[in-house]
Structure 1
């Protein structure tokens, strides 16, 4: 990311922008090895290096006087099966992961040197979440076949 791009990105943080006829509330941005990610309340934009200038040229800052118009989908809603979550009880491993993540958050707040360890814990937690999602998908698939 160039200095000019970074300056433009800093200017839109905590601002409302218009992009492709939609309104977004920009929260922050982050650059990693391959991409730049712009985080908004509505969605995140993952931009490759050559897309950053195109994105910055295509956006406009919305003045505070313009009323906020939410980006509501224009699709018809369909009925879904409702699930009673009162019977849901997190497993011991889910509780342990949540506890570990909260502990790491406190460690990072107290000591920034704990960030590498926190990243490792988050990677493990993300892997566990992916495994849980895969199990849910398998259960849904098995339920459809029955």
Structure 2
């Protein structure tokens, strides 16, 4: 098993929490607490909550950013892939202190662990296009 940081584990849990919400619905704050209170591996609780709650609030906006970067409707994405794209897109747009290459790499690592076989290719292509527009100065530096 590879060494994972608390932030990486937090990102994995964000994807798991988004997946759970997509599949079974439920109360957002209950899902947040459930994933914060999991005992397997240390996470950054504030980082997890910030990502999960803000992604939940901005899914429509994130879908609008994702849609032009993929060759199908966002509704046709696999649930896990959609969650990973939410995570990567949100971080590219709102976490400018994290280098875009780190954001993309983290999303790809999560995709390789949880996504469908080869899904990381779609995620990489989509986030790469988003980085070109959301992080233009950084990408061109």
Q: TM-score range by the shorter chain?
A: under 0.3
Judging by fraction of residues, say which structure has more strand.
1
Larger RCO: Structure 1 or Structure 2 (Cα < 8 Å, ≥ 6 residues apart)? Answer: 2
| TM-score, length basis structure 2 | 0.26
TM-score (norm. length: structure 1) = 0.26
